[in-house]
Amino acid sequence: MALTLFDTDEYRPPVWKSYLYQLQQEAPHPRRITCTNELTSLVRRATLKENEQIPKYEKVHNFKVHTFRGPHWCEYCANFMWGLIAQGVRCADCGLNVHKQCSKMVPNDCKPDLKHVKKVYSCDLTTLVKAHITKRPMVVDMCIREIESRGLNSEGLYRVSGFSDLIEDVKMAFDRDGEKADISVNMYEDINIITGALKLYFRDLPIPLITYDAYPKFIESAKIMDPDEQLETLHEALKLLPPAHCETLRYLMAHLKRVTLHEKENLMNAENLGIVFGPTLMRSPELDAMAALNDIRYQRLVVELLIKNEDILF
């Protein structure tokens, strides 16, 4: 019996696997194709036509060894995936299925799908923003809006801790409801709960906002005595950040700069905020505890410099 485009995924011949991969990369207008799990996200993206204001962040695939049930074809080379177990790998973020050897040649064009991205906290930052098609994580945007609407004059803002159980509630609300999470004053009257939830988001990132790769350059900038050279090195360090990380850092520093404008009321200047956010945004890639401890003063200085020079650096 001849197979058609409307047959199930398990019995689609290799030619359609190759054609499907091409469709996914080119993202054309939705076509009259049904009964394929892979096209669900494609149709959604083509319909939305990705807002032109949203940057196209590059993301590598998050491949994991996978055992497939029934016949499967590689979505890169279109050849059959042989074996009974562990026939290939599947991207945990977008669901792309390929041979293990083909995974090394697949371009960094992962388009995470919400059906694969289950969490908000502890999720890779670039994965999250691509899955939700946003410039920044919704946690950052929503928490900062809430803080600026009612908390800028709160004494010890970001320094004072909120009740840990309620901060955990906010985390679960974001993981469960995403952008529909209610963090209004009606739910959480204490603004320190919202600041605590924002800090927790950054601490829970698997790759810190200031990434491990860029970390040495940022620390180097903090050790430079000449102000002009220091800013130049800091600017070079920012270029090492992935675009989604850099955009989120820019937005956060602009917010913290506004916090310092209310220093008379909240008693939080750039130095105090640096003490709070240094270890939150930066984690040493070194396993040596003593070396990491020695870096804390430089982490504080990096954040302080970013806040004070936010309008120049970004």
Residue 292 has pLDDT above 70, yes or no: yes
pLDDT band for position 293 (50/70/90)?
confident
| pLDDT value of residue 262 | 98
Percent of the chain with pLDDT over 70: 82
Q: What is the mean pLDDT of residues 111-139?
A: 89
- Tokens 């010890």 belong to 156
> For residue 284, which of 181, 215, 203, 183 has the smallest C-alpha distance?
215
Neighbouring CB atoms inside 10 A of 54's CB total 14
Which of 38-47, 102-111, 288-297 has the least mean pLDDT?
38-47
The confidence score (pLDDT) of residue 253 equals 98
How does residue 53 score in pLDDT terms, banded at 50, 70 and 90? low
**Using H for helix, E for strand and C for coil, what is the string for the chain?**
CCCCCCCCHHHCCHHHHHHHHHHHHHCCCCCCCCCCCCHHHHHHHHHHCCCCCCCCCCECCCEEEECCCCCCECCCCCCECCCCCCCEEEECCCCCEECCCHHHCCCCECCCCCCCCCCCCCCCHHHHHHHHCCCCCHHHHHHHHHHHHHCCCCCCCCCCCCCHHHHHHHHHHHHHHHHHCCCCCCCCCCHHHHHHHHHHHHHHCCCCCECCCCHHHHHHHHHCCCHHHHHHHHHHHHCCCCHHHHHHHHHHHHHHHHHHCCHHHHCCCHHHHHHHHHHHHECCCCCCHHHHHHCHHHHHHHHHHHHHCHHHHC
Mean pLDDT rounded to a whole number for the chain: 84
Which of 177-191, 216-230, 276-290 has the lowest average pLDDT?
276-290
pLDDT at 34: 38
Which sign, positive or negative, has the C-alpha torsion 144, 261, 192, 252?
positive
Q: What is the pLDDT of residue 84?
A: 82
Q: How large a percentage of the chain has pLDDT more than 90? A: 58
Q: What is the dihedral of CA 291, 297, 303, 307, to 10 degrees?
A: -160
CA dist 136 and 246 (Å) reads 10
| Mean pLDDT value across residues 18-36 | 44
What pTM was estimated for this model as a whole?
A: 0.73
Rounded Cα distance, 273 and 292, in Å = 20
Please, which residues bridge with residue 80 across strands? 73
- What b/e readout covers 18-35, taking b as 16+ CB neighbours within 10 angstroms? bebbebbeeeeeeeeeee
